[in-house]
Structure 1
Amino acid sequence: MTAPPILVFDIETIPDITVAKRLYPQLAKLDDDTALTELIQLRQAEADTPFMPLPLHKIACLSVLWVANGKMTLKTLSLQSHSESEMLMTFFNAIEKLPTLVSWNGKGFDIPVMSYRALQHGLSAPKLFTENTSEMKYNNYINRYHDRHTDLMLKTAMNGTYQKLDVVAIACGFAGKQTIDGYDVVPMVQAGEWQKLTTYCESDVLNTWLVYLRYLTLTGKMTHDEALAWEGYTHDYVQSLKNDDDSVRHQSFLAGWLFDKAETVVNEQHDGKAN
């Protein structure tokens, strides 16, 4: 059988001020920036954290890495040029092809956020929720222990303490998050730094993909040489990605990646390596 495509994904979010003003009437007459400041203080007071309830996370950026037939494509959509519903439907349409989803905390954050936002927009994602057909009964996107959605944070913890992607990626010799983290997303959106935001989101996807290769090796689904070949192919692909000014989009990521070309296996035949 042909291996299903792989879809590695990550979202970056900002607080939904419009919904927050309905939930907290005291914010209704404030301008958005002031309302955001007040909202953060309200959340800190009521929950001892500035982290918003999942339905209040508006998707600002969605990055996906599509891997199929030995090739990969990295793509990002953001609020700069797409509506939130357009980003969601692009993702849901990709799921219709039944890829293996790969994420870091996707079952705990990304997919729940997408689901709440889809409810708000009245969108449909039937394959994401299918679990009773013969094809999906024992391997679907819903069940915590199935692999059709491989949440690497859950898989690698083995019922132990969950770790951050940044820590695991750096421990494996990959770039990690470098100097940006999730708390920088709102300031980037407010400043209109969309290229910086999308590059950051893509770097999370790349870290997740590279950790996934190690996970496939760990679980015996890929040989060490096959994983090294894919790492080499990924490194070459990332080097080829350019900004509009022809600069290398992920130069910082490449600089932080402890990549040794001499250790990679030269193999042009990637078909069927990842499954």
Structure 2
Amino acid sequence: MASPLHLLVIDLETRPDAIILPADRDPAAFPKPIQHEIITLGFLLARIDRDGQSERYSIRKVGSASIADRGEREILAGFWQMVDRNRPRVVTWNGRGFDAAVLKQRSLIHGLTAYNWHRTDPRFGYDYRFQTEWHCDLMDVLCDYGASPRLGLDEAAQALGLPGKWNGHGAEVMDLVAAGDYPAINRYCEGDVLNTYVLYLRWAHLSTRLSARGHNASVQNLLNYLEAGQEKNPHWKEFTDLWQSSERPCPLFVNEPLGEPGPQSLESHLRSEDVMP
């Protein structure tokens, strides 16, 4: 069976589509996904390098696509082309509840085709909720698919020592749209993408996709990439400065044991401590 070649972390900023909103809708109700027009699609694309059973990631590009530069149809078509071309594992935060639903439902409006999304492993592919190989909705996974309370991105990020939503909040997006400040929306969206990516690295280490060395190498690769681009993207420097100044237990790197135990050596250790029967 084919495996993902890349990691693609995405986040959307949207506004209500006044043209298709019902006239009698409750103004306090949150519009349904199909009723959200995309303003910005933020993304991080990284190559998946494999070392035996472990992975590590190398950043290829961090950026955003905005309606200030192109139409919604072009943003959507570009996303599906990115999926077709790079065959990525898509990572989202509440993506099944919102982002992926917006992408698919708005694509209906524009008459687009999402080829690889539906042809890649049709049974356990992007739309299969309980498999993280092709689409990992990190919030859904961390909350055990609804068994525990929903966790906000800002809450999770700050708990780990990440900046969280230091440069804006979703409630401010409409004011920024009204002011025509699309660069600020892009910066905010990219901030959410960066938080989501680092949270994914920590979860990938917890779930044994990444060894400690693979996790730390992936973090260092991200730091190097952001440092190289910080002159043109000052918000990347803000992110790394806040992250590196955190006093949380291990905001950047995890401990690297001299020999990372595999299943047998871990079992032997537990038996030696008389923990296992």
Q: TM-score band (shorter)?
A: 0.7 to 0.9
Once the two structures are aligned, what percentage of the paired residues are identical? Answer: 28
1:19-48 CA distance string (max 9 Å, x none): 23xx318xxxxxxxxxxxxx7xx322xxxx
- In the alignment, the residues of structure 2 paired with residue 124 and residue 3 of structure 1 have an alpha-carbon distance, to the nearest angstrom, of 20
After superposition, the CA RMSD in angstroms is 2.4
Query: In structure 2, what is the equivalent of residue 142 of structure 1?
Result: 127
SS in 2 for 1:72: strand
1:172 maps to 2:160:
yes
| Structure 1 residues 115-194: aligned runs within 5 Å | 115-130=104-119, 136-147=121-132, 148-158=134-144, 159-194=147-182
Q: Which of 112, 118, 142 in structure 1 is aligned with 2:101?
A: 112
| Structure 1 residues 14-163: aligned runs within 5 Å | 14-20=15-21, 23-24=22-23, 42-44=26-28, 49=29, 51-68=30-47, 70-96=58-84, 97-130=86-119, 136-147=121-132, 148-158=134-144, 159-163=147-151
How far off is 1:185 after superposition?
0.9
The 8 Å contact of residues 15 and 57 in structure 1, kept in 2 or not, is answered as yes
- In the alignment, the residues of structure 2 paired with residue 110 and residue 11 of structure 1 have an alpha-carbon distance, to the nearest angstrom, of 6
Q: Tell me the number of residue pairs that the alignment of Structure 1 and Structure 2 aligns.
A: 237
The normalised TM-score by structure 1 is: 0.79
| Structure 1 residues 246-265: aligned runs within 5 Å | 246=232, 248-258=234-244
Q: 1:57 to 1:225 in 2, by over 3 A?
A: same
How far off is 1:152 after superposition?
0.3
What code does the residue aligned with 1:184 have? E
- In the alignment, the residues of structure 2 paired with residue 257 and residue 84 of structure 1 have an alpha-carbon distance, to the nearest angstrom, of 33
1:141-191 CA distance string (max 9 Å, x none): 011112210010011112311200111111111111115111111111111
The 8 Å contact of residues 103 and 152 in structure 1, kept in 2 or not, is answered as yes
What code does the residue aligned with 1:16 have? D
Could you tell me which runs of 5 or more consecutive residues in structure 2 were left unpaired when the two chains were aligned. 50-57, 255-277
SS in 1 for 2:124: coil
The 8 Å contact of residues 4 and 88 in structure 2, kept in 1 or not, is answered as no
How far off is 1:252 after superposition?
2.7
| Structure 1, 225-234 or 78-87: larger mean CA deviation | 225-234
What code does the residue aligned with 1:112 have? A
Query: In structure 1, what is the equivalent of residue 183 of structure 2?
Result: 195
SS in 2 for 1:65: strand
- In the alignment, the residues of structure 1 paired with residue 213 and residue 230 of structure 2 have an alpha-carbon distance, to the nearest angstrom, of 28
The 8 Å contact of residues 15 and 52 in structure 1, kept in 2 or not, is answered as yes
The 8 Å contact of residues 175 and 258 in structure 1, kept in 2 or not, is answered as no
1:216 maps to 2:204:
yes
1:217-273 CA distance string (max 9 Å, x none): 000111122212211221221222246xx4623233223214689x759xxxxxxxx
How far off is 1:138 after superposition?
4.6
SS in 2 for 1:18: coil
The 8 Å contact of residues 169 and 211 in structure 1, kept in 2 or not, is answered as yes
Could you tell me which runs of 5 or more consecutive residues in structure 1 were left unpaired when the two chains were aligned. 26-38, 266-275
SS in 2 for 1:77: strand
Q: 1:256 to 1:140 in 2, by over 3 A?
A: same
- In the alignment, the residues of structure 1 paired with residue 98 and residue 77 of structure 2 have an alpha-carbon distance, to the nearest angstrom, of 18
The 8 Å contact of residues 6 and 67 in structure 1, kept in 2 or not, is answered as yes
SS in 1 for 2:20: helix
How far off is 1:193 after superposition?
1.0
- In the alignment, the residues of structure 2 paired with residue 192 and residue 138 of structure 1 have an alpha-carbon distance, to the nearest angstrom, of 43
Query: In structure 2, what is the equivalent of residue 10 of structure 1?
Result: 11
